[in-house]
């Protein structure tokens, strides 16, 4: 089985180069890249006018299986990923039961292998049932295939426990992913605290709820030497804390979601529950700060925090609606429209934050186009304009605040292990 990706602009984040060349794939591996490669019996994929990148990696998704299959399954979630141009996803452990032991990690890996459209890397829970009381069997989970640990959505409030988790995870060589939120500050909040929460009469989640925990976890990482990854950075203060920590040499990385660099709390006016997300959509100054953090390298990774919910769950009063929005199928469009087109990031920088950078945080052998690597490739049409229509999504969730938004830049083809899993929007 041979494929030749021909005529595209290849973005190689490892070499740090962008150039016109072809990629030859044989039996699921990249065997050769170069100018004017001859097909030699390979099926030719015309990529002229397109950008060819290593398969994109979304290191923060919720696949909901096991336990919440009405929201999403490993099958539907990976189809959504494929349609969004992602060839690998790392899924958070807040399933039911919680992915806090090797059996669940194995279940997710096996199910993904059987039914998944893309590669799935499970993230294990830090504490049993993510309750924040005692450490989960992190070593066991690593052996079963966990690539990092996080109590996403259920922040570890006990600083002593988080410290031990970092000591332990350092021994295993895996990163701790911090959902940074002080529950005592954010308690009951539904949106960013500021003028908009005052006008709308919704309880606010102050920026300090996030920043207090970012600061705490940076200090703990500095002390323990554990690799720390800050999930979904949303405030100017968090960006500053990460920037300062990096300058001191702390092993910290950070991610931002497309919605946090695209939307402000103004979007909540009208009480559309699709705008309810945790951390909340912040103020304009915060959006500017995360863009600055993306540009100067403080923020390493773009990840979606894809969080599907059913229509019924979201079609309620704002306070009652669950947090979260889907993101896999709008990510590339938002990155190109909001970051690449205005010059915040070059295409190469954007691709790095979607490939090699998350790959390094997770310690997986993905995100590269080097000969011999898995043939995971995403072809992006940077000029294609399209309007977001949730009815077209391959995933189950329809909870997006971007409905009707015109975006420029679209995943054109997704190739996983040499197999075309999505072509022009069809999975």
Partner 1 sequence: MGLSEKDLVGLQHVPAEEINQILDIATPMKEIIKRQIRKVPTLRGRTVVTVFYEASTRTRVSFELAAKYLSADTTGITAATSSMSKGESIRDTARTIAAMGADIVVLRHPMAGAAELLAHTIKASVINAGDGAHEHPSQALLDMFTVKEKKGRLKGLRIAIIGDILHSRVARSDIWGFHRMGAEVRLAGPATLLPPGVEKMGARVYTNLEEALEGADVINILRIQLERQNRGLFPGLREYSRLFGINKERLKLAAPDALVMHPGPMNRGVEIAPEVADGIQSIINEQVTNGVAVRMALLYLLTRGGSKHEITC
Q: Are 134 and 98 in contact (CB under 8 A)?
A: no
Residue 201 lies near partner 1 (rule: CB under 8 A): yes
Host H or E run for residue 334: helix 331-334
| Residue/partner pairs of 388-393 with CB below 8 Å, 24 or more apart | 388/330, 388/333, 390/326, 392/329, 392/425, 393/80, 393/83, 393/326, 393/329
Q: Which of 306, 238, 276 is nearest to 59 (CA)?
A: 306
Minimum distance between the CB of residue 404 and partner 1, rounded to whole angstroms?
A: 16
Residue 271 lies near partner 1 (rule: CB under 8 A): yes
> Could you tell me which stretch among 86-94, 95-103, 171-179, 199-207 binds partner 1 (CB under 8 A)?
199-207
Q: Which is nearer to partner 1, 281 or 415 (CB)?
A: 281
Count CB neighbours of 298 within 10 A.
25
Q: Which is nearer to partner 1, 357 or 399 (CB)?
A: 399
Question: Which residues in 279-318 contact partner 1 (CB under 8 A)?
Answer: 312, 315-318
Q: Which is nearer to partner 1, 207 or 298 (CB)?
A: 207
State the DSSP code for 46: E
Minimum distance between the CB of residue 200 and partner 1, rounded to whole angstroms?
A: 6
Minimum distance between the CB of residue 422 and partner 1, rounded to whole angstroms?
A: 35
Interacting residue with partner 1 among 40, 41, 160, 270 (CB under 8 A): 270
> Could you tell me which stretch among 41-49, 112-120, 196-204, 391-399 binds partner 1 (CB under 8 A)?
196-204
Q: Which of 55, 52, 54 is nearest to 5 (CA)?
A: 52
Catalytic center residues: 305
- What tokens appear for 417 in the block? 């292990």
Q: Measuring CA to CA, how many Å separate 160 from each of 52, 152, 171, 191?
A: 45, 18, 17, 29
**Per-residue x/- track, 213-252, partner 1 (CB under 8 A):** ----------------------------------------
**Three-state secondary-structure class, residue 415:** strand
Count CB neighbours of 271 within 10 A.
15
Interacting residue with partner 1 among 90, 144, 202, 422 (CB under 8 A): 202
**Per-residue x/- track, 320-359, partner 1 (CB under 8 A):** x---------------------------------------
**Three-state secondary-structure class, residue 239:** helix
Q: What is the DSSP string of 123-169?
A: -B-SBGGG-SSSB--HHHHHHHT--EE--TTS----HHHHHHHHHHH
**Three-state secondary-structure class, residue 19:** strand
Q: What is the dihedral of CA 243, 248, 250, 255, to 10 degrees?
A: 10
Q: How many residues bind partner 1 (CB under 8 A)?
A: 21
Interacting residue with partner 1 among 31, 222, 319, 373 (CB under 8 A): 319
Q: Which is nearer to partner 1, 325 or 415 (CB)?
A: 325
Residue 70 lies near partner 1 (rule: CB under 8 A): no
- What tokens appear for 389 in the block? 């229509």
Q: Which is nearer to partner 1, 2 or 203 (CB)?
A: 203
Minimum distance between the CB of residue 82 and partner 1, rounded to whole angstroms?
A: 33
Report d(CA 420, CA 427) in Å as an integer: 9
- CA geometry: angle at 191 spanning 180 and 304, to 5°? 55
**Per-residue x/- track, 171-190, partner 1 (CB under 8 A):** --------------------
> Could you tell me which stretch among 56-64, 201-209, 231-239, 375-383 binds partner 1 (CB under 8 A)?
201-209
Residue 195 lies near partner 1 (rule: CB under 8 A): yes
Residues facing 88 on adjacent strands: 57, 119
Interacting residue with partner 1 among 38, 110, 198, 392 (CB under 8 A): 198
Residue 194 lies near partner 1 (rule: CB under 8 A): yes
State the DSSP code for 235: S
Report d(CA 60, CA 193) in Å as an integer: 25
- What tokens appear for 254 in the block? 């950070």
Minimum distance between the CB of residue 71 and partner 1, rounded to whole angstroms?
A: 18
Minimum distance between the CB of residue 265 and partner 1, rounded to whole angstroms?
A: 11
Q: Which stretches of the chain bind partner 1, using CB under 8 A?
A: 193-204, 270-271, 312, 315-320
């Amino acid at each position: 089985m041979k494929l030749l990706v021909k005529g595209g602009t290849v973005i190689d984040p490892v070499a740090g180069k962008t150039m016109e060349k072809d990629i030859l794939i044989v039996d699921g591996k990249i065997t050769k890249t170069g100018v004017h490669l001859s097909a030699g019996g390979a099926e030719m994929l015309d990529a002229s006018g397109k950008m060819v990148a290593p398969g994109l990696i979304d290191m923060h998704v919720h696949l909901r299986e096991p336990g919440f299959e009405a929201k999403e399954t490993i099958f539907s979630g990976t189809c959504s990923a494929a349609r969004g141009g992602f060839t690998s996803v790392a899924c958070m452990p807040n399933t039911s039961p919680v992915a806090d032991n090797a059996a669940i990690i194995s279940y997710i890996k096996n199910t993904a292998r059987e039914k998944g459209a893309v590669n799935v890397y499970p993230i294990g829970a830090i504490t049993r049932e993510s309750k924040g009381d005692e450490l989960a069997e992190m070593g066991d989970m690593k052996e079963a295939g966990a690539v990092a640990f996080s109590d996403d959505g259920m922040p570890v409030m006990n600083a002593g426990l988080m410290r031990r988790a970092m000591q332990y995870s350092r021994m295993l060589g895996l990163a701790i992913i911090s959902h940074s939120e002080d529950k005592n500050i954010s308690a009951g909040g539904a949106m960013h605290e500021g003028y908009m929460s005052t006008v709308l009469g919704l309880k606010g989640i102050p920026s300090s709820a996030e920043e207090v925990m970012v600061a705490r976890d940076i200090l703990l990482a500095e002390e323990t030497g554990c690799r720390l990854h800050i999930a979904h950075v949303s405030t100017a203060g968090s960006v500053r804390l990460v920037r300062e920590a990096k300058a001191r040499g702390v092993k910290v990385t950070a991610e931002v979601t497309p919605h946090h660099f695209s939307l402000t709390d103004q979007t909540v006016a009208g009480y559309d529950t699709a705008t309810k997300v945790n951390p909340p959509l912040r103020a304009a100054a915060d959006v500017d700060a995360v863009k600055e953090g993306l540009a100067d390298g403080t923020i390493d990774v773009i990840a979606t925090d894809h969080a599907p919910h059913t229509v019924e769950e979201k079609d309620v009063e704002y306070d009652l609606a669950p947090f979260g929005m889907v993101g896999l199928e709008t990510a590339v469009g938002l990155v190109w429209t909001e970051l690449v087109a205005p010059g915040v990031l070059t295409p190469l920088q954007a691709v790095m934050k979607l490939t090699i950078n998350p790959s390094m945080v997770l310690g997986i052998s993905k995100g590269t186009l080097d000969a011999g690597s898995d043939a995971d490739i995403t072809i992006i049409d940077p000029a294609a304009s399209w309007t977001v229509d949730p009815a077209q999504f391959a995933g189950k969730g329809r909870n997006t605040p971007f409905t009707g938004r015109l975006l420029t830049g679209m995943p054109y083809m997704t190739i996983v292990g040499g197999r075309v899993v999505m072509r022009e929007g069809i999975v």
